[in-house]
Chains A and B, each alone.
Chain A
Amino acid sequence: MSFFPTQADAKEGHRLLQARSLVRHFKVRAQRTLLGGSATLTAVNDVSFDIHAGRTLGLVGESGCGKSTTARLTLGLTPVTSGDILFDGMAVTGRRNAQWRELRRHMQMVYQDPLGVLDKRLPVLNQVLEPLDIFAAGDRRERHEQACAMLSRVGLNQALWHRYPHELSGGQRQRVVLARALILRPRLLVCDEPISALDVSIQAQVINLLQDLQQEHRLGMLFISHDLKVVRQICDEVAVMYLGRIVEQGKPQDLFASPAHPYTQALVSAIPTVQRGRNHQRILLEGDPPNPINLPSGCAFHPRCPMATAACRELTPALQDLPGGRKVACLNSGTISLKS
């Protein structure tokens, strides 16, 4: 079928998406009244990254650091305040025009709450059929075949195909959401905390499924999570976000083994480890939790950073390249030696 992109388009390592200097502001009411003033919430503050076919970029950080907003910007679900996004040379804007709709065939999203994003009145097979209906791909019989094939591929038992979402378990629902997202054979998949709502035993299955599908379809993935262990398993590259900026980026094994940025160090030290006899020092961050409405001057992390200097209050560090493909945004990175 010519409706779907051919395999040749998805060469491994080919750069699918390029995001540069993304900024997103939200206007919020300081006091929720007609008469109150408004403030600016900076969700994303100068973020740049690339996503390649067949590879996964992870975005980690605490709640409110801008991960979900970045995901929505990437897909053009929200317009940027400034910055560019190019998918295969095509600009991705937030305006929902014909080009935007066309791009839907190439980029899709998997959500955190599978029950909320499924229509509780439709059987799951119909919901997987929906993207095919929207884009009128083939005739009825072909669409039905495609949908059934997809549901089988994600491992959903045929007996469940005509059930309603609330009659399935969390893991099964997420499979349905995956099937719906992949049925148009997109080249880019954005996963916003896809397993946070699932039981731990199911999480592993869904992760494995994601990895298999990625290999099969040469998907580029943007994987967002606050769970570092999962990120370590599935991502080829990890970016750590704090208050709307990327503060560190690198290969997960390296990054978690020897974090360069003080924030990453604190995050990594908080991962529970079950190892007897190992001396584990937890880094506790002090100071106020991050507030995207009232951004600190200079480096956003300086109020809580154990290594903050006077310069950190004035200058905003840019992402610098370190050996081994690592990037860090810290004024003191030069003085930190990467422990091997």
Chain B
Amino acid sequence: MIHYLSERLFRLLLTLLLVLSFAFIILRLSGDPALIIMSPDAPPEAIEAFRKSWGLDAPIWQQYVGYFLNLLQGNFGVSMKDGAPAMQMVLERVPATLAITVPALILQLLIGVPAGVYAALHHNSRLDRLLMGFAIAGHTCPSFVLALLLVLIFSVTLGWLPTGGYGTFEHALLPILTLSLSGAAVLARFTRSAMVEVMGQPYIRTALAKGLSWRQVVFQHALPNAAIPTVTLIGMMVGGLIAGAVVVETVFSWPGEGRLLVTAVASRDLSVVQAILLVVAACMVIANLIVDALYVILDPRLRTGNTRAKA
């Protein structure tokens, strides 16, 4: 088990390294970083000083190492717009994004998993087809369309909720709902197919033959086994939430990471974009680690070190 987790950690750190290198490469490829990170109006001496401090006159591999050293020291450059340190700007917005993504994740699980399980247990019935129809619709509807639709219904027509802004629970409700519905649809479909596969296994039939009630079979045997592949999905869902937050925060004028990213890209505020990239990468690494740890807890085959048997 330690081997499994340490190998996963190693691979994730490698991925993080790659993301950072990717950021370095595209920064270099897109032009002179000094001119890009400092604004073009800056005095030539400042640009020269910047070049020196970032070692831009040194050979490329030295720059690469210097880049990482800078990152480790916490030097992420400054925002072009107002000169504030980029990472500080980014970290300030994290709570706002968490305020909608974490409830959305919980809501996704609460809606998607029961829907998928229910559909699986009533496999091929009208209800199953209906639920899956909704699931496909939710999955294929772009988040901005969904967001605007919800605004149209709940804000414009019914007037129950505000169209956007930040502050109260009412402001957060529509963003959370939008974020969660799409992910819930994917989760429902996936849970359904995982459950259908588990329910078709011989050990379920045996459990029923032994006299266990349907409820016992589902909760003690089917669900824990179906949970294993579903947990892998959670890692992808976190990614989906981060990507979804970009659009949702823009539509609802919610001042989180996503909105910051969009404005930074539009104004080509590269140090902010870079900082956000790193924060997102770190988030994904953490999320994947948690998923892997959950995996080990749920799947006894991994505890004894037999990763070959991974489903």
Contacts and interface: CB of A to CB of B under 8 A. Distances in A.
Interface of A: 31-36
A34 B6 CA distance: 10
Interface of B: 3-4, 6-7, 10-11, 305, 307-308
A33 B11 CA distance: 11
A35 B305 contact: no
Contacts of B6: 33, 35
A90 B6 CA distance: 50
Contacts of A31: 3, 305
Given A34-B10, A35-B6, 14 more contacts: A31-B3, A31-B305, A32-B307, A32-B308, A33-B3, A33-B4, A33-B6, A33-B7, A34-B7, A34-B11, A35-B3, A35-B7, A35-B10, A36-B3
B6 to A, nearest CB: 7
Q: Could you say which of A33, A34, A36 has the most chain B C-beta atoms within 10 Å of its C-beta?
A: A33
Contacts of A36: 3
A292 to B, nearest CB: 18
B18 to A, nearest CB: 16
Nearest to B3: A33
Contacts of B305: 31
A34 B305 CA distance: 14
A33 B307 CA distance: 9
Nearest to A32: B307
14 contacts: A31-B3, A31-B305, A32-B307, A33-B3, A33-B4, A33-B6, A33-B7, A34-B7, A34-B10, A34-B11, A35-B6, A35-B7, A35-B10, A36-B3
The 8 A-B pairs of least Cβ separation, nearest first, read A33-B7, A33-B3, A34-B7, A31-B3, A32-B307, A34-B10, A35-B7, A36-B3
Contacts of B307: 32
Contacts of B11: 34
B5 to A, nearest CB: 10
A32 B6 CA distance: 12
A265 B249 CA distance: 79
Contacts of A32: 307-308
A36 B10 CA distance: 13
Q: Which one of B4, B6, B7, B10 has the greatest number of beta carbons of chain A within 10 Å?
A: B7
Contacts of B7: 33-35
Most buried by A among B3, B4, B11: B3
